[in-house]
Amino acid sequence: MATKEELLEKLKTGVVDFQEEDVKEAAQQALDDGYDALEMIMDGLAAGMEIVGELYDRNEYF
């Protein structure tokens, strides 16, 4: 069983690196382990999307 912090990091980096399967697995694992879905969204997925936005603004993502 992964820790909450490990799952949050996997969600965040999965979004940044476009690793759809990693994101799906981490999200399912978080739900199965009973972690708060909103926390996983805000601190994992949204955090990754924020990084993607910053990279796009710097023309590092197209």
Structure confidence by residue, pLDDT tens digits, 14-46: 999 999 999 999 999 999 999 999 999 999 999
More confident residue, 34 or 1: 34
Domain ranges of the chain: 4-57
- Per-residue pLDDT at 35: 98
pLDDT at residue number 60: 92
In degrees and rounded to multiples of 5, residue 34 shows phi and psi of 85, 15
Residue 61: is its pLDDT beyond 90?
no
pTM of the model: 0.92
